[in-house]
C-alpha cells in the first residue's frame, strides 16, 4: 500500500511538472499583436495537416503555413514560428498513454483568469488526447474586420479547423471548453449563486451531459447548474465551436463556466481536480 501511494505521488508530481512546462509554452506563444486572418487556402492546408497528424502521420505541410511541429516526450506541439506570430493558437497532441479521448480547449486562456494554467493541469492529470489554447487576447483587433479576436466566436481560424479535424477523426470523442465568469456580473439569481454552469451549446443537452451534471452536483463544492434547466444564461448558444459541432451532428461538446472561487480551488487541489476529472471521463 505504501509503495502504491509513493508511486501515485511520483506520477502526480511528474504530471505537475509537465503541466508547468505546458503553461510556460502557451504563455510564450501568446502574441499581443492584431489577429491576421488566414486565407481559405491556408485553412485548408492546416486542416489537412492536423488531420494527418491525428491519423498518426507526420504532415509535410507545416512549413507552408509557417507553423512549427515540435516532437517532445509524450507530446506533439504545433505552434507558430517566431517570425509569424499572428494569433493562430497553440495546439498539442498526446503521444503517450491516453486515458480519455478528449480535446480540451481554453479559448480565453488569459482573459478568463487561471483557465490557461488549469487547462494544462487537467490535460496532464486527465490523460486527454489533445489540447488547445488561444494565443492572442480575446479583445485584440482582427485585421480588416470589425470583430474581435475571440476564438470562441470566430469561424475562419486555425482553432476552428483543429476542432473540425478532431471531431471528424473521433466522432464519439468529447470536446470540453473551459471558461471563467464573475458571479457578481450574472443577470439572474441562479447565475449569481452558481459556481459552475454546464452547457451543450444549445437547449437540449444530450444524456451524457445530463449525467455529467449529476455527477458534478454530487462531487464538486458549490452549486453546479445545467443550462437551460437550472440556469438560463451562459449557455454558449453562439459559441463557434459548439455551432460547428452541431452542424457535424457531433454530440460531444461540453461548455464549462467556472466562478473565480472554483478556479482557484481547482488550481490548488489535486484531489479536487481528480473529482472533476472523474465526472468528465469518456
Domain ranges of the chain: 2-280
Compute how many other C-beta atoms are within 10 angstroms of the C-beta atom of residue 268: 9
Whether residue 32 is predicted with pLDDT greater than 80 in this model: the reply is no
pLDDT-derived band at 281 (thresholds 50, 70, 90) equals confident
Q: Are 115 and 108 in contact (CB under 8 A)?
A: yes
Q: Is the pLDDT of residue 189 over 50?
A: yes
pLDDT of 199 over the 90 cut? yes
CATH of 2-280, one of 2.60.40, 1.10.8, 3.40.630, 3.40.50: 3.40.630
Q: How far apart are CA 266 and CA 273, in angstroms?
A: 6
d(CA 84, CA 67): 8
At residue 2 the predicted structure's pLDDT band, cuts being 50, 70 and 90, is low
The model carries a pTM of 0.92
The set of cell numbers assigned to 217 is 452536483
The whole-number average pLDDT for the span 28-57 is 93
Amino acid at each position: 500500500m505504501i509503495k502504491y501511494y509513493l508511486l501515485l505521488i511520483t506520477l502526480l508530481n511528474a504530471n505537475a511538472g509537465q503541466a508547468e512546462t505546458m503553461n510556460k509554452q502557451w504563455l510564450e506563444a501568446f502574441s499581443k499583436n492584431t489577429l491576421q486572418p488566414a486565407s481559405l487556402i491556408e485553412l485548408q492546408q492546416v486542416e489537412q495537416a492536423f488531420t494527418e497528424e491525428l491519423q498518426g502521420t507526420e504532415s509535410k505541410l507545416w512549413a507552408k503555413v509557417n507553423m512549427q511541429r515540435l516532437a517532445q516526450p509524450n507530446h506533439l506541439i504545433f505552434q507558430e514560428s517566431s517570425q509569424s506570430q499572428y494569433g493562430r493558437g497553440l495546439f498539442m497532441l498526446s503521444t503517450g498513454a491516453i486515458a480519455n479521448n478528449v480535446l480540451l480547449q481554453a479559448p480565453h486562456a488569459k482573459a478568463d483568469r487561471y483557465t490557461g494554467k488549469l487547462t494544462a493541469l487537467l490535460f496532464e492529470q486527465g490523460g486527454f488526447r489533445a489540447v488547445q489554447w488561444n494565443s492572442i487576447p480575446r479583445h485584440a483587433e482582427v485585421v480588416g474586420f470589425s470583430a474581435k479576436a475571440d476564438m470562441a466566436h470566430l469561424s475562419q481560424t486555425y482553432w476552428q479547423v483543429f476542432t473540425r479535424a478532431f471531431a471528424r477523426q473521433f466522432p464519439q470523442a468529447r470536446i470540453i471548453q473551459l471558461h471563467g465568469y464573475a458571479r457578481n456580473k450574472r443577470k439572474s439569481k441562479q447565475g449569481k449563486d452558481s459556481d459552475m454552469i454546464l452547457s451543450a451549446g444549445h437547449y437540449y443537452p444530450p444524456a451524457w451531459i445530463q449525467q455529467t451534471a449529476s455527477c458534478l452536483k454530487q462531487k464538486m463544492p458549490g452549486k453546479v447548474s445545467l443550462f437551460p434547466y437550472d440556469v438560463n444564461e451562459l449557455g454558449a448558444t453562439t459559441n463557434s465551436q459548439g455551432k460547428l459541432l452541431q452542424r457535424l451532428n457531433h454530440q460531444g461538446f461540453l461548455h464549462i463556466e467556472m466562478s473565480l472561487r472554483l478556479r482557484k480551488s481547482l488550481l490548488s487541489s489535486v484531489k479536487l481536480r481528480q473529482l472533476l476529472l472523474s465526472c468528465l471521463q469518456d
